[in-house]
Homo-oligomer: A and B are copies of this chain.
Amino acid sequence: MSAAERRRPGEFSLIAKYFQPLAKGTEGAFGLLDDAALYRPASGSELVLTLDTIAADVHFGADDAAESIARKALRVNLSDLAAKGAEPVGYLLSLALPDDWTEKWVGRFARGLAADQRKYGIGLLGGDTTRASGGLTITVTAVGSVPKGKMVLRSGARPGDVIFVSGTIGDAALAMAVRRGDIKPSDQKVAARLEERYLHPRPRVALAPVLRRWANSAMDVSDGLVGDLAHICEVSAVGAEIAAANVPLSSAAKSLAAGSEAALRTVLTGGDDYEILATVSPDKAERFRRDAAAAGVRVSRLGMIVEHGRHLPVVFGRDGSPIAFDGLGHTHF
């Protein structure tokens, strides 16, 4: 045991100091003082369960701020719940710490979680803190609640459905390209705005009830817009046609993607958007858009679900001809 290790708290005092406060108000968490959490589903509700892992140098930079890493770990899971029309209720956390962890880092990580717990109205239900050989790895299991029978699936897309996406697409993927040095923005403010989207996904929690009411299918866009739309096509046994010109871009993304074929491909197939892709019957499309706007979320029409062909979306470029893709999506693998 090194001197640094002797100065660090052990597992139980780390939990007591930093994680028990996060579970304080959570019903059924027993202050993290039991083997497991109890969850009492509300009458007439069903549970939605999702798990996502993020690892250093794969999903985030090992030197990113601890608060940001905490928020990302939580938010990528809340994004999955939102896409299913579920309200988040709590989460379980696995924190596998590298050898060189410090108490200060854990304190900042816990502060990031605390801020997001307040923001999203959720509590820590349980978890595990352990040492791992290698880099930091964080797994969150998020628990959500939906009214009985109301979970929104990927498999409900029908020919004729209007395809919508929330927010703007491609910012995080462009931020990664900037991090890799593949794209060099001349304006540092542009780089900073993209980086912010990469660091802090914005799960569309407010969209959950709107999706439950109007959407035939939905999923969160985490592995790239075109690849994720292909997933909806595959499980719904349909095809899709969208126009690249309809893909909503932030002004930062616009400034990079304008005139760059490579940047456009990054936008369409890059990952980490954490926006919502949804398909809605044409007669409900306008009401969906209006309710989403009322919930504070702008949604854009991308195109239409069609009879199934090869289960692959066709993306029409500005010249009206389909864009060819080598690979359809980004993988964190």
Contact = CB atoms under 8 A, between A and B. Distances in A.
Nearest to A15: B333
A327 B40 CA distance: 37
Contacts of A14: 333
Task: Identify the interface centre among A154, A231, A333: most chain B CB within 10 Å of its CB.
Answer: A333
A11 B131 CA distance: 26
Contacts of A51: 92-94, 126-128, 139, 141
A235 interface: yes
Contacts of A154: 30, 33-35
A110 interface: no
Contacts of A94: 51-53, 94, 139
A37 interface: yes
Nearest to A62: B133
Interface in A14-64: 14, 30, 33-41, 46-59, 62
Interface string A138-174: 0101011010100101110000000000000000000
Task: Identify the interface centre among A39, A47, A132, A155: most chain B CB within 10 Å of its CB.
Answer: A132
Contacts of A153: 30, 34
A206 to B, nearest CB: 17
A41 B46 contact: yes
B331 A133 contact: no
B332 A131 contact: yes
A332 B92 CA distance: 19
A10 to B, nearest CB: 6
A67 interface: no
A66 interface: no
A130 B30 contact: no
A141 B37 CA distance: 11
Given A30-B155, A47-B47, A83-B35, A53 B96 contact: yes
B35 A84 contact: yes
Contacts of A148: 40
Contacts of A273: none
Nearest to A49: B37
Given A11-B331, A51-B92, A36 B144 contact: yes
A333 B8 CA distance: 11
B47 A35 contact: no
12 contacts: A34-B153, A39-B46, A40-B148, A55-B96, A55-B132, A55-B133, A58-B130, A94-B94, A94-B139, A98-B134, A133-B135, A134-B134
